[in-house]
Amino acid sequence: MQTLDSQNPSDLSDIVTTVTLASFEEVVAQTRRAHDAQPAWASVPAPARGRVIAQVGRLIEANKEALAALVTREVGKPYAESLGDVQEVIDTCDFFLGEGRRLYGQTVPSEMHDKQLLTYRQPVGTAFIITAGNFPTAVPSWYIVPALLCGNSVVWKPSETAPAISAALASLFHAGGVPQDVLVTVDALGEATFDGLEAALAAGLVQKVGFTGSTQVGRRIGELAGRHLQSACLELGGKNPMVVMPDADLDLAVEGALFGGFGTAGQRCTSLGTLWAHNDIYDELLGRYVAAVESAIIGDPREAVLYGPMISPAYLERHEQNLALVADHQKVHGSTGTGRITADNPRKGFVGNPDAGVFAHPTIVEGIRAGDALYDTETFGPLVGFGRFGDLDEAIELANGHGYGLSSSIYTTSPESAWRFRSRVSAGMLSINNSTSGAEAHLPFGGNGKSGNGSRQSGMWVLDQFTRWQSVNWDWSGKLQKAQMDVADLPFDAGFRL
């Protein structure tokens, strides 16, 4: 039996929990359990399922601080951000509790007499959801809440960096009234998950796959789902650009770039990838940004810090590998060192004991150009690129050229620039005078190109992921009326002219 220790990334000696990892056979068995429970759940009237979501929301609200403290302990988010993560679950429940009383279909006129056309949203069946550790409560809820509300059962494979958080969150769903077998959590590593999912799909146990994570793994999941004639809901990486025009409020842009680039230690899929500065303000913006990053407070996530540790040692390792991508023509700014913060590689103003955990220096890499490794590599850590452009057309080309398309941002006081950028940027999400991260929980969330397959989460748009339209025609004429053929023609005078 394989087990996994979940460490506190601020203090690696603190083992938050130890979990048993499921084999691929167990992944299949758990999926079958959820599959078998789905019809009974679908037969619960949608408004009653909505009440369950309301109860879950209220329970999470009542446990908000305890859950947020666990988020801070297990994945190292600053406590204020952990509260935000949990708040996003509450917001999602609040949004969907009413959907139980809507889940609207349509009545549609028929082309024939004594016949009525209707549409219904039907649950898809069982959803298999795989989530990442950076938003260990919010992002799972984007899938789980609407999936359940729509009458699906859910198998949830949370990140191996967040088993205690996911167990706590699942227990709140169960305490709120979701039957145990309708929401099943499995802790497993990547390969057991993939093999288990493959076997479950082949056995007809899964009708929807949801995945949040890297583009590389998303491609494999998308291919697998495609072989079973399913389209997965994929929320993948980003290389989110921020374009700063010469007419921008630079203080605002610096504030947005500081939070967007280094909040959550850069470990959001919406984190700022490269800041593109217009030639006219390049030096000024770089100077102000470097000063802001140099004086940012990093350290113990229970304190008022900009960011805490990396999610786990593996995230630090990847960040260090990404630092090796810095090219000779680029310059590094932002801290007293790069890579891991330690007593020997200290960070000015660090709060706490850096050696106990996996903390990283913030790094701005100046001189990014199209074609550089850091131009199109998602770094998912405290590393922000800084580059220049001459006009808006060039900025748009740089913003789109790497092929990712999740989030984007422009700082400008010109409505014309904002509008031109909006209409041509390829990202699924755009902020105008706001940072790339921090989407609200009731707008469509998702990306294009390498950032996803066009699926959208959140708000009413996610209903299309977890329901399928059923069209009904109901004929009470007592005879067979053939569509397109038995339709009354009303005479018209085709030759009429004034």
Among the candidate windows 13-21, 203-211, 267-275, 339-347, which touches ligand UN1 by CB under 6 A? 267-275
Tokens of 135: 């938003």
Residues within window 128-147 making contact with ligand UN1, judged by CB under 6 A: 134-135, 139
Q: Pick the binder of ligand UN1 from 7, 437, 453, 458 (CB under 6 A).
A: 437
DSSP 454: S
Nearer to ligand UN1, 87 or 122 (CB): 87
Nearer to ligand UN1, 234 or 316 (CB): 234
- How near is the Cβ of 91 to ligand UN1 at its closest, in Å? 10
Per rule CB under 6 A, is residue 269 in the interface with ligand UN1? yes
**Degrees to nearest 5, angle at CA 152 with 151 and 155:** 150
Among the candidate windows 91-99, 154-162, 193-201, 432-440, which touches ligand UN1 by CB under 6 A? 432-440
- How near is the Cβ of 188 to ligand UN1 at its closest, in Å? 20
Tokens of 366: 């100046």
List the beta bridge partners of residue 117: 108, 473
Among the candidate windows 25-33, 223-231, 262-270, 467-475, which touches ligand UN1 by CB under 6 A? 262-270
Of 379, 372, 339, 120, nearest to 239 (Cα)?
Answer: 379
- How near is the Cβ of 135 to ligand UN1 at its closest, in Å? 5
**Alpha-helical segments (H) within 156-214:** 163-175, 190-202
Per rule CB under 6 A, is residue 438 in the interface with ligand UN1? yes
Strand order through the sheet with 107-109:
107-109, 115-123, 467-475
- Cβ atoms of 245 and 392 closer than 8 Å: yes
Nearer to ligand UN1, 41 or 96 (CB): 96
Q: Pick the binder of ligand UN1 from 27, 439, 449, 459 (CB under 6 A).
A: 439
- How near is the Cβ of 69 to ligand UN1 at its closest, in Å? 20
Among the candidate windows 55-63, 287-295, 434-442, 479-487, which touches ligand UN1 by CB under 6 A? 434-442
Q: Pick the binder of ligand UN1 from 30, 270, 363, 400 (CB under 6 A).
A: 270
- Cβ atoms of 236 and 452 closer than 8 Å: yes
Site string for ligand UN1, 200-219 (x = CB under 6 A): ------------x-------
CB atoms within 10 A of CB 297: 16
Dihedral sign computed on CA atoms, order 410, 416, 421, 423: positive
Measure the CA dihedral 157/163/167/172, to 10°: -90
Among the candidate windows 21-29, 147-155, 158-166, 433-441, which touches ligand UN1 by CB under 6 A? 433-441
- How near is the Cβ of 134 to ligand UN1 at its closest, in Å? 5
- How near is the Cβ of 140 to ligand UN1 at its closest, in Å? 10
- Cβ atoms of 198 and 206 closer than 8 Å: no
Nearer to ligand UN1, 123 or 261 (CB): 261
Return the amino acid letter for 259: F
Q: Pick the binder of ligand UN1 from 49, 239, 268, 340 (CB under 6 A).
A: 268
d(CA 278, CA 214): 31
Nearer to ligand UN1, 409 or 467 (CB): 409
Strand order through the sheet with 383-389:
331-333, 363-366, 383-389, 272-278, 240-244, 407-411, 429-432
Per rule CB under 6 A, is residue 82 in the interface with ligand UN1? no
Interface with ligand UN1 (CB under 6 A), residue total 10
Per rule CB under 6 A, is residue 462 in the interface with ligand UN1? no
Nearer to ligand UN1, 212 or 338 (CB): 212
Strand order through the sheet with 208-212:
183-185, 153-157, 126-130, 208-212, 233-235
Tokens of 263: 């909040």
- Helix, strand, coil proportions of the chain in percent (round to 5)? 40, 20, 40
Q: How far apart are the first and last CA of the chain?
A: 87
- How near is the Cβ of 404 to ligand UN1 at its closest, in Å? 13
Residues that bind ligand UN1 (CB under 6 A): 134-135, 139, 212, 268-270, 437-439
